[in-house]
Structure 1
Amino acid sequence: MSGCATPPVSSPAAQSAWAARQPMLAKLSHWRAVGRIGVINEQDGWHANFQWDQQGPTYRIDLIGPLGQGRVVVQGDAERVSIQTQDGQNWTAADADTLLEQSLGVRLPVKGLRYWVRGLPEPGATPVLEIDAEGRLIRLEQNGWIIDYPAYTPTTALDLPARIVARRSDLSVKLVIEQWNL
């Protein structure tokens, strides 16, 4: 067996569908996703309900623990991010991923998730893509993460991810999106 990984091969029709789909997904700059998140790292795991509101570069992510126990609000834009907990603790930094790790003990890829949640690779980093016949991502490998898309849901604009599983060596993040508002 060869030690080299080869990129998945898709049909020309799938590639054409992906090429047509990408600009439509990229135009979705104002959206809301509501659902559940589960995070498992080497030491432990947690789950919460979430609501993610994206308005261009500005976002707000509300994480609400089971039965309303605990709330964390992550707000940011291209320059700053802040976290506020239910007990009144506040942190601010330039990078959401680092701030979440310092304040909550878990490094979630917020910058990448902004794109991955819509079924797009993050700009800049070279991705490895696997797409289906409709031009939807089945698997994305980017920035040390493997992101699987086991389910999509139709919206008024186009099909968007309903389930996302993102993994790297020490962390697994599962998103179930129950509602999209565009």
Structure 2
Amino acid sequence: MSWRIIFTAAFFFLNACSVTPEKPLQDFQLTSRQHLQQLQDWAFEGRLAVVDENDSVSLSIVWRHGQDRDDIELAGPLAQGRTKISVSPGQVTIDDGESRNVYLGEPEQVFAEQLGVDMPVGALKFWVLGVNEPKYSYTEQPGGFLQSGWLVIYREMQKANSEVLPKKITAEKDRAKIKLIIDQWEI
């Protein structure tokens, strides 16, 4: 088989993959999802991108949520720069493999001071499930909602056991943008 035939076949295959449409935004319905705010144990694996006016970073993410604790593992390309973060009420532990530090305070404040990122950690544990954070008001938007200044949009949903959960999420506030692609759910 000639290289020209292989190249042509690969070109058409890759083009066919790239035009696969995402599920339309109207698939997301916030009002039918409120029961997920009560979900106590879940986990997912995926990819995370965080962008602000100063920096951008792409990471793999594994997030395990329990009743009183969230364990988040982040790793850069080729699993470099692995960081384990544990969040419990009033405390954040960050282990970068070289040192393990415990910080007292609200997770958003600790993330901003120690990691230099504007990350709504308390709300994210709800947003990743496709629901609003119940403590704060929100305004529904096409494909998502606006909460605490963040516009959260669900670009694609996926089936996980008997639930429909997010696959592609974006959250934007001012010049900060978070993109999350969830490859695998465990509920």
The Cα of 1:105 is off from its aligned counterpart by 1.0
Deviations 1:36-82 (CA, angstroms, capped at 9, x unpaired): 00011101100100000001121100001111110111102223221
Distance, in Å, in 1 between the alignment partners of 2:127 and 2:77 is 25
2-side partners of 1:70 and 1:173: how far apart?
19
For 2:85, which of 70, 74, 80 is the aligned residue? 74
Aligned residue identity for 2:33: R
What is aligned with 1:134? none
CA root-mean-square deviation:
1.7
Deviating above 2 A after TM superposition, structure 1's stretches of 4 or more consecutive aligned residues are: 17-21
Q: Which of these residues, 122, 127, 151, is aligned with residue 138 of structure 2? A: 127
CA contact 2:33–2:131 (8 Å) conserved in 1? no
Q: 1:153 maps to what in 2?
A: 158
CA distance in structure 2 between the aligned counterparts of 1:75 and 1:147, rounded to whole angstroms: 24
Larger CA Rg, structure 1 vs 2: 2
SS of the counterpart of 2:162? coil
User: How far apart, CA to CA, are the structure 2 residues paired with 1:52 and 1:121?
Assistant: 18
CA distance in structure 2 between the aligned counterparts of 1:164 and 1:77, rounded to whole angstroms: 24
Give 1:115 shift: 0.5
Q: 1:95 aligns with which of 84, 101, 106?
A: 106
Which residue type is aligned with residue 44 of structure 1?
A: D
The equivalent of 2:34 in structure 1 is: 22
Distance 1:100 1:83 in 2: 10
Q: Take 1:147 and 1:139, find their aligned partners in 2: how far apart are those partners? A: 5
1:173 matched to which residue of 2? Answer: 178
Q: Is this contact kept in 1: 2:137–2:147, CA < 8 A?
A: yes
The alignment covers a number of residue pairs equal to 160
Code of the residue aligned with 1:81 in structure 2: it is V
TM-score, structure 1 normalization: 0.82
User: Aligned partners of 2:154 and 2:30: how far apart in 1?
Assistant: 15
Instruction: Map residues 9-88 of structure 1 onto 2, 5 A cutoff.
Output: 18-23=30-35, 25-88=36-99
Which structure has greater helix proportion?
2
Question: Which structure 1 residue ranges, 5 or more long, are not aligned?
Answer: 1-13, 132-137
**Residue 150 of structure 2 is aligned to residue 139 of structure 1:** no
Task: Provide the C-alpha distance between the structure 1 equivalents of 2:77 and 2:99, rounded to a whole number of angstroms.
Answer: 19
User: Is this contact kept in 2: 1:91–1:103, CA < 8 A?
Assistant: no
Q: Percent identity?
A: 29
User: Are 2:91 and 2:102, in contact at CA under 8 Å, matched by a contact in 1?
Assistant: no
**SS at the partner of 1:176?**
strand
